[in-house]
Structure 1
Amino acid sequence: MSRILNSIVAVCPDMGIGKNGNLPWHPIRLSNEFKHFQKMTMTPLVEGKKNVVLMGRKTWFSIPAANRPLKNRINIVLSRELNTAPEGAHYLASDFSSALHLLDSSELEKQVDQVWIIGGSPVISVEKFREIFPGVPTGVQEENGVQYVFEVYESTDH
């Protein structure tokens, strides 16, 4: 099945997406950035379906245990090291290709709307596509003394 894959990543000025299991600006909390992440990854375009969040093992374990799995989304963890899905995760895939096959399985294909790749860097480096994120604020945003920008990329190779 042909499927649009989306990626959402927060980066610092040096293009880093995390440090020691945290976002680059930790311990500062950027509530608008987090609300944007939730809105984008949680809101399906098709009523009655759910979005998938696809992430690496380290990203999964960087999420506080009380917040795992990310609610109202199907959580898929990528790992070559784990043999079973970590507690709370809905599915485990050994690599990106296996995750795509899982999405096309009879168990998931009718449930899934959008797929969001949320990190970490090994997973993001594998993905070769970007989808337009509707409603993204433009220009430099500032919150709690930290400046950030929402960037939108679209791959023309499809």
Structure 2
Amino acid sequence: MSKVKLNLIAAACENMGIGANGTLPWRLKKEMAYFTTMTTKVSSPERVNAVIMGRITWDCIPDKYRPLSNRVNIVMTQQVESLKSKVPEGVIVVPSLDEAIKYIDSRPDIESTWVIGGSSIYQAAMEHPNCGKIYLTEIQKSFDCDTFFPNIDKQQFHLVNEEEIPEERQVEGDISYFFRVYKRL
């Protein structure tokens, strides 16, 4: 049995939208900084975190931020061979979530694993037995989106408080949001 715990991290608006036309429908600097901190923070300098994403999410990351720095980037796609030749060295390309987990299991230096999108990857991760927590930024506003976060089964995932996650409402410009953590029972 794998020891890898999957953490999902996303920001979603009131209708659970997470994206529109291959980009985020909002610009929230503090929320983006939270994402970066959560997905890079490790307990010691010789450790590193992994981020798992689908090919569309990979393609949506602006070139200057790709691959996401100080993290092992793992991209899931059915077209493994064609993508392998296009990604920078060090980016891992796998056909499935189980293959991603197998790779992470082989790396003793990987501390935490973060699933960063898109919809079908989130869905697969939520249904996976290794899914531990969902870090969801709940944006208190509606945006026009074409990509959505899967429904969270409240029978399986319960809202919890974590010490390092602020509970109070966050405000940037005219948008307010909450950092939420759902833990699998």
**1:141–1:148 Cα contact (<8 Å) kept:** yes
Instruction: List gaps (5 residues or longer) in structure 1.
Output: none
**Does the CA contact (< 8 Å) of 2:54 and 2:117 recur in 1?**
yes
How far 1:130 sits from its partner (Å)?
3.6
Q: Distance in 2 between matches of 1:134 and 1:91?
A: 32
Give the aligned residue type for 1:102: Y
- Kindly indicate whether the alpha-carbon contact (under 8 Å) linking 1:46 and 1:113 is maintained by their aligned counterparts in 2: no
**Inter-partner Cα distance in structure 2 for 1:113 and 1:101:** 14
Q: Which runs of 5+ in 2 are unaligned?
A: 134-159
Q: Percent identity?
A: 35
**CA shift in 2, pair 1:52/1:134, >3 Å:** farther
**One-letter amino acid matched to 2:87:** E
Contact preservation (8 Å) 1:30, 1:143: yes
Q: 129-138 vs 16-25, which deviates more?
A: 129-138
Q: Where do 1:65-80 residues align within 5 Å?
A: 65-80=63-78
The answer on 1:110 being equivalent to 2:111 is no
Cross-structure match for 1:98: 99
Q: 2-side partners of 1:134 and 1:127: how far apart?
A: 24
Residue 20 of structure 1, CA deviation? 1.2
Q: Distance in 1 between matches of 2:175 and 2:64?
A: 26
Structural RMSD (CA): 1.7
**Match of residue 144, structure 1, among 165, 173, 176:** 173
| Residue of structure 2 in register with 1:2 after alignment | 3
Query: C-alpha distance in 2, partners of 1:71/1:119?
Result: 17
Say yes or no: does 1:39 pair with 2:37: yes
- Deviating 4+ runs (over 3 angstroms): none
Superposed displacement of residue 134, structure 1: 4.7
| Higher relative contact order (CA closer than 8 Å, sequence separation 6+) | 2
1:12-57 deviation line (CA, Å, top 9, x unaligned): 11111111111132xxx21100110010001113441100011010
User: 2: distance between equivalents of 1:40 and 1:100?
Assistant: 19
3-state secondary structure, aligned to 1:53: strand
Report deviation, 1:150: 1.0
In the alignment, does 2:38 pair up with 1:14? no
Distance 1:43 1:75 in 2: 15
Aligned residues: 150
Q: TM-score, normalised by structure 1?
A: 0.87
